[in-house]
A and B are shown apart, each in its own frame.
Chain A
Amino acid sequence: MEFGWSEDQTAYRQRVKDVLAENLPEDWEERAIHGPGSTPVTRFSFEFCKILAEKNLLIPHWPVEYGGSAAQPWNHFILGEEAWQVGEPRGPQYMNVNWIGPVLMRYATDDQKARYLPPIVNGDVIWCQGFSEPSAGSDLASLRTKAERVEGGYIVNGAKVWTSFATHANHCFLLARNGTGKDGIMILLVDMTSPGIQVKQIPALIGEGDIHEFFLTDVFVPEENRLGAEGQAWEIISYALQNERIGIARYAFARRVLDSVIEELKADGRFDDPVVQDRAGRVLAKVEAARMMVYRVVDERAKEQPISAYGSLARYCLVEADHAVADFVLEFLPSGMLGGDPLQQAHHQRALYSGIASGAAEIQLNLAARRHLGLPSETTRGL
């Protein structure tokens, strides 16, 4: 047991920092105020991910046969930490490398791999995930979008909502059903330019690009675009979400904002106030707690141990940390949210959805209660 970085990891982090410093444009801070799914960041992601790809930094953790260099999961996580800290210049493509690609590697046919993986490897494709629906959010298994089998494929009808990145997405990782219950759900890899798809952005507190609804009306999806078998979706998305829950190093951006706010408070002489120090110290502890919990999960992955419920515990800590920083800023430096510091607003907007995206925080508590603590199911009866 030890908690330091190896020489290789330190050198790798420095390399990532150098690449970011050399390749982020002068106006990056202004662009990064917008979320990863915004038009300015998405556009830049095509440019930036190509640079990462050239430098073997886009998918270093992928197996060699898929274009990666089989780097340790730690390296991938260091990259994610540094990228999220500066506003995620990979834009929506972070999702491709974190879980879309790995899921395709595990479940796709050879033809699907040949079609979908190279654009991810080259950094020139955007995916969105078609999971939530107007009546199926946390209760994802109640989704209603229908995939009716027809000759050569499926006709899909339904509506998806809260979808990030949909405006710019080339493909959608779509859940649809042709049967009942969890076993009646399948995954379709849908071309977003297919006739019958209508995307509408929903104005939101969290800014542009991250919340959409889209409608599928008699959309034909070829059978070869189905991922896995009919009814295999639950297994596949369970695997996918394990990668997604702690895939974003939220504590890194939170810590950067906290550090910058403290600098401002110091410049104003307000950090001499013991009350401010007290509150800052407590918030700092939550951020560092989230960091350690996430590192613990990454260590588990690096050792290829079975996936535990630790990711759910870590996710809840991330949410707490993100909100603690956002609330500290609101209380002690509200001018930042009134045009004084766009970075603070950018963090605030990201923190707003940290407990909602990728499975609500309360669902993580359900999972942790059952799988980490071994508490009995809600349906247990007796005595």
Chain B
Amino acid sequence: MDFEPNENQTAILDGLEQLISSQAIEAPKDGVLVAFSEALDAELALGGFLDIAREEEFTLLDAALVVERLARLPVSAEVAFSALVAPLFAADTVQRPFALVSGNALAPARFLTVARTLIVDKGDELLMIEVDPARVEPVESLFAYPYGRLTSLDGLNMQTFGADMAAAVRRRWRLALAVEGVGLMQSAIDTVVDHVTNRYQFNRPLGSFQAVQHRLAIAAGKQQSARWLALRAAWSDSESDCAIAAAYLQDCIPAMVYDLHQFSGAMGLTLEFPLHFWTYRLKAMLGELGGGSAQARAAALATWPDAA
């Protein structure tokens, strides 16, 4: 049991910091809902950060630390699926970026506007669809990810995988969601802590009121809990740990996001305040994989397996 990064992990994270610094990433100030960086996405792929889990000397946990760190940025890139889900498939058989969707292949999916592969979880089987950009229409939403949907499946190349691969992808998708979510939570909390420290009302910083302090402390405790559950899941890659981590994260999102926006007041409703770049990615995650209840049930069934 060791909660500190090892030598490999420290080296990876140091390298990642250098890449992030070189990109001079800032939250967009032009009032946009979505902040996706093609340049960052390309640099990460080029630097090998998205293939870490495929390398013999590295682990899935190492890849998870990369995903977590990048989620703290105000701009998104398709990182979690590439780093944590894609390694289930042979490297030369899949092309990133990826989009994942449950059930209906024509449903809106995160990153589909930039994806080359759409993975569709149909429960007892899995479809892998080669995306034709001409068949993708952007979907506008409040969520801070780029969303798109396929207009039709006619003539698209696709492969079908069986129930085992579908289950494995769901497991890693839960992991991806949990790990990315804790990074988003961290930056959202940091943003609001900074705001309530510097925003004075009644001649006091907002953050000096106990009503604010308690709820932010609870948020911090939940974020840290979610973090260790997610990193444990990356370490074990077990059905139960991945489901527990995702269930916990999704369970925490509504109250935490409510509080973070509440403490930001009207400022948090504007697009010039960067909070939505994290909270509206978290809200997007709330309904993924069937929502928190599906993850909770999966956790229960994986933990007490001879049920049902």
Q: Enumerate chain A interface residues (CB-CB to B < 8 A).
A: 1-6, 9, 74, 259, 262-263, 266, 271-272, 274, 277-282, 284-286, 288-290, 292-293, 295-296, 298-300, 303, 310, 312-314, 316-317, 362, 364-366, 368-370, 372-383
Contact = CB atoms under 8 A, between A and B. Distances in A.
A296 B223 CA distance: 14
A313 B236 contact: no
Nearest to A274: B297
Contact of B225 (A279, A289, A373): A289
B217 A368 contact: yes
Contacts of B189: 373
B74 interface: no
Given A1-B6, A1-B9, A284 B300 contact: yes
Contacts of A362: 214
Interface string B135-161: 000000000000000000000000000
A369 B244 contact: no
30 contacts: A1-B4, A2-B6, A2-B61, A3-B1, A3-B231, A259-B304, A263-B304, A266-B306, A271-B307, A277-B300, A278-B293, A278-B297, A278-B300, A279-B296, A281-B303, A284-B300, A284-B303, A288-B248, A289-B248, A290-B225, A313-B224, A364-B217, A365-B218, A368-B221, A373-B217, A376-B205, A376-B207, A378-B208, A382-B200, A383-B203
A380 B307 contact: no
B297 A288 contact: no
Interface string B1-21: 111111001000000000000
A378 B210 contact: yes
Q: Contact size class for B?
A: 35 or more
Nearest to A299: B3
B300 A316 contact: no
A310 B9 CA distance: 22
Contacts of A6: 1
Interface in B231-251: 231-232, 235-236, 243-245, 247-248, 251
B298 A281 contact: yes
Given A284-B299, A375-B196, A292 B228 contact: yes
Contacts of B9: 1
B217 A313 contact: yes
B134 interface: no
Given A293-B225, A368-B221, A380-B205, A285 B299 contact: yes
B229 interface: yes
Contact of A4 (B1, B196, B209, B301): B1
Interface in B246-305: 247-248, 251, 292-293, 295-301, 303-304
B224 to A, nearest CB: 6
B216 A373 contact: yes
Given A289-B225, A292-B232, A374-B193, A380 B208 contact: yes
B1 A2 contact: yes
A216 B35 CA distance: 67
Q: Among B3, B193, B235, which residue has the most Cβ atoms of chain A within 10 A? A: B3
